[in-house]
A and B are shown apart, each in its own frame.
Chain A
């Protein structure tokens, strides 16, 4: 039986990793991820989790240790944020290319400079192409649930890929929330023991990570592309199985009051919750607004997105990051790319909001909806908007 308790999301995530019986946790502290690994180190020290905790000297080492332990066949977890994720960058590619099913929490935080410890998505957006499954959570419950699910998905032999579970630093990570804490029996029913697809084993020697000469490199990349794209089906299936056991259903793309909407706004992560409040308020005034909440980022859920958009004439996309000198918002760029060539595609209005911890308020959403209605009326797309920018 699940119990509903008030708990800080970071602690709950650590408990969830404990329920999944991770064998190894290797991490370096960085705000706002730190509480997760601190709690895990306590669980290990207290004997609540039979695992090795490796307090490495940097994130580069953390991800390298994770590759080693995962290659040896151990269920492996780590967590990081911001500069730490950036420092892991090189090894992230190795983990996916070697098909090591590492699970990593990323408490999203801005990248320097200037130095900023608060939340946005600039840390994870640059890691788009590292070949990991990437998913976003809106609150602590989702972060707990999707962490448990992440082990199942990553270790699915059809997938065998690493996965990042993203949630907003502080806004989610440090929030004390009433949430349903899964119990061990349920997790056991959902998550089978880890049977690595391949591992380093003295009796059956294999070699991991050899040189890929030009004759083979393209094919190796094609395999990665194929695997990550094909991971979509197992993702949907395992989310379905998660729902059977835990009675909470997650979808690659979620919507909110979108069915009869005149304009839609697309969000990722925790701001989706404030946006729902804003939608309710506008609806109460008779404005037909709705939301699309993009949960799965890699593999990109093209069909789910198209279904969620239907024939909407105007779509706003909120980015929590800027692609400097480029098309401004990485998510908007991706969405526009997905829509290219489709009949009756919507006008796409780009917003960048909540950089480096700036709050995105209901009033901000209101203004965004106003801009969407204006675009609908005029048929013109305004230049990308930096929400709340002080002149």
Chain B
């Protein structure tokens, strides 16, 4: 046996390898970055919980060696909200595909951001429903091809940072899977930041998106991300729409503070009930 263990390995359920992800898929990079962020911040893994919905990205919850929950399609945010409310000590990380988070689960997303639920939400945006074979998603760039949009998508896609920002998220960033260091840094930043923190990761899905749109393979996507990304920290999120094959504005767009749901609830109840109010769960502050 080799003495050198990949530093990522202890964080994965190795007995479940090989994983299902295709060669060139970007999801693995996101997992890798998350592990680096955990290692750097030295958080207690027993206090970290990983939640995901259904989809290729959803598989993260199954492969990650932490308390994890693989919920139904679209419902990772409400599940995570419940988890955090009942056990505020946990750092609750939500990994979802764009379909899971923004199509079927879109309503939960905007409400969790609005109420500033204390969740770390990472969206792997590959512009399509990868797991079901590449149907048109609400993130599909205009004119991009999908199995259910054989001559091009004609509905205007969501601009996810803007959606998160305008719904009330306290932290909003976007990176691509090329920007691994920056992604790790963003993950570190939100590790201890209270409130609804959102990172969009633009990721290649060679199988269901790139190939159909003649955008090459995973490597070609990296080249595109490298050449066409522009780092604009603090960019107005209204200006970061993504067009097919066009430039990708990346960076940290929003970093602000606002009471979390739990804090707001406690303040309000404290105001009305005074000393009679005993915060649940007792003894836990955040």
Question: By the criterion CB–CB under 8 Å, are B148 and A55 in contact?
Answer: yes
User: With A and B bound together, what is the CA distance between A134 and B97 in angstroms?
Assistant: 34
Question: By the criterion CB–CB under 8 Å, are B104 and A115 in contact?
Answer: no
Given contacts A58-B103, A83-B73, A115-B54, A45 and B150 within 8 Å (CB-CB) = yes
CB within 8 A of B104: which of A28, A34, A45? A28
Question: By the criterion CB–CB under 8 Å, are B106 and A57 in contact?
Answer: yes
Given contacts A58-B103, A115-B54, A115-B70, A41 and B149 within 8 Å (CB-CB) = yes
Nearest Cβ on chain A to B61's Cβ, whole angstroms: 11
Q: Which residues in B have their C-beta under 8 angstroms from that of A83?
A: 54, 72-73
Question: By the criterion CB–CB under 8 Å, are B151 and A55 in contact?
Answer: no
Q: Which residues in B have their C-beta under 8 angstroms from that of A29?
A: 129, 132-133, 135, 148
Question: By the criterion CB–CB under 8 Å, are B147 and A41 in contact?
Answer: yes
Closest residue on chain B to residue A60 by CB atoms: B104
User: With A and B bound together, what is the CA distance between A28 and B73 in angstroms?
Assistant: 12
User: With A and B bound together, what is the CA distance between A30 and B132 in angstroms?
Assistant: 6
Question: By the criterion CB–CB under 8 Å, are A57 and B132 in contact?
Answer: no
- A262 in the interface, Cβ–Cβ < 8 Å? no
**Per-residue CB proximity of B43-79 to A under 8 Å, as 1/0?**
0000000000010000000000000001011100000
CB within 8 A of B150: which of A28, A37, A42? A42
Given contacts A29-B135, A55-B136, A37 and B148 within 8 Å (CB-CB) = yes
Q: Which residues in B have their C-beta under 8 angstroms from that of A373?
A: none
Q: Which residues in B have their C-beta under 8 angstroms from that of A364?
A: none
Given contacts A29-B148, A38-B147, A55 and B132 within 8 Å (CB-CB) = no
**Per-residue CB proximity of B99-115 to A under 8 Å, as 1/0?**
00001101000000000
User: With A and B bound together, what is the CA distance between A83 and B74 in angstroms?
Assistant: 11
- A224 in the interface, Cβ–Cβ < 8 Å? no
- B138 in the interface, Cβ–Cβ < 8 Å? yes
CB within 8 A of B133: which of A34, A55, A57? A34
Question: By the criterion CB–CB under 8 Å, are A31 and B132 in contact?
Answer: yes
Question: By the criterion CB–CB under 8 Å, are B72 and A38 in contact?
Answer: no
Nearest Cβ on chain A to B214's Cβ, whole angstroms: 18
Nearest Cβ on chain A to B112's Cβ, whole angstroms: 17
The residue in A37, A55, A112, A115 that gathers the most chain B C-beta atoms within 10 A of its C-beta is A55
Nearest Cβ on chain A to B90's Cβ, whole angstroms: 22
Question: By the criterion CB–CB under 8 Å, are A112 and B72 in contact?
Answer: yes
Question: By the criterion CB–CB under 8 Å, are A58 and B104 in contact?
Answer: yes
Question: By the criterion CB–CB under 8 Å, are A38 and B74 in contact?
Answer: no
Question: By the criterion CB–CB under 8 Å, are B103 and A57 in contact?
Answer: yes
- A53 in the interface, Cβ–Cβ < 8 Å? yes
Q: Which residues in B have their C-beta under 8 angstroms from that of A30?
A: 132
Task: Please tell me the size bucket of the interface on A.
Answer: 10 to 19
User: With A and B bound together, what is the CA distance between A41 and B136 in angstroms?
Assistant: 11
Question: By the criterion CB–CB under 8 Å, are B72 and A34 in contact?
Answer: no
Nearest Cβ on chain B to A38's Cβ, whole angstroms: 4
The residue in A31, A41, A83 that gathers the most chain B C-beta atoms within 10 A of its C-beta is A41
The residue in B72, B148, B155 that gathers the most chain A C-beta atoms within 10 A of its C-beta is B148
Closest residue on chain B to residue A84 by CB atoms: B73
Given contacts A58-B103, A58-B104, A112-B72, A34 and B135 within 8 Å (CB-CB) = yes
Within 8 A of A (CB), among B127-145: 129, 131-133, 135-136, 138
Given contacts A28-B104, A45-B151, A38 and B135 within 8 Å (CB-CB) = yes
User: With A and B bound together, what is the CA distance between A163 and B148 in angstroms?
Assistant: 24
Nearest Cβ on chain A to B273's Cβ, whole angstroms: 37
Q: Which residues in B have their C-beta under 8 angstroms from that of A34?
A: 132-133, 135, 147
Question: By the criterion CB–CB under 8 Å, are A53 and B72 in contact?
Answer: no
User: With A and B bound together, what is the CA distance between A83 and B72 in angstroms?
Assistant: 8
Question: By the criterion CB–CB under 8 Å, are A41 and B150 in contact?
Answer: yes
Q: Which residues in B have their C-beta under 8 angstroms from that of A37?
A: 148
User: With A and B bound together, what is the CA distance between A318 and B148 in angstroms?
Assistant: 37
Question: By the criterion CB–CB under 8 Å, are B72 and A41 in contact?
Answer: no
**Per-residue CB proximity of B258-285 to A under 8 Å, as 1/0?**
0000000000000000000000000000
User: With A and B bound together, what is the CA distance between A55 and B99 in angstroms?
Assistant: 12
User: With A and B bound together, what is the CA distance between A391 and B136 in angstroms?
Assistant: 44
Q: Which residues in A have their C-beta under 8 angstroms from that of B138?
A: 57
User: With A and B bound together, what is the CA distance between A28 and B137 in angstroms?
Assistant: 10
Closest residue on chain B to residue A56 by CB atoms: B103
Q: Which residues in A have their C-beta under 8 angstroms from that of B73?
A: 83
Question: By the criterion CB–CB under 8 Å, are B54 and A38 in contact?
Answer: no
User: With A and B bound together, what is the CA distance between A37 and B132 in angstroms?
Assistant: 12
Within 8 A of B (CB), among A78-107: 83
Q: Which residues in B have their C-beta under 8 angstroms from that of A112?
A: 72
User: With A and B bound together, what is the CA distance between A46 and B150 in angstroms?
Assistant: 9
**Per-residue CB proximity of A156-181 to B under 8 Å, as 1/0?**
00000000000000000000000000
A-B contact pairs, 12 of them (CB 8 A): A30-B132, A34-B132, A34-B135, A37-B148, A41-B150, A42-B150, A45-B149, A45-B150, A55-B155, A57-B138, A58-B74, A58-B104
Question: Sorted from nearest, which 10 A-B pairs have the closest CB atoms?
Answer: A41-B148, A29-B132, A58-B104, A57-B103, A38-B147, A29-B135, A45-B150, A55-B136, A55-B148, A45-B151
9 additional A-B residue pairs with CB within 8 Å, beyond A38-B135, A55-B155, A58-B103: A29-B148, A41-B148, A41-B150, A45-B149, A45-B150, A53-B148, A55-B135, A57-B106, A58-B104
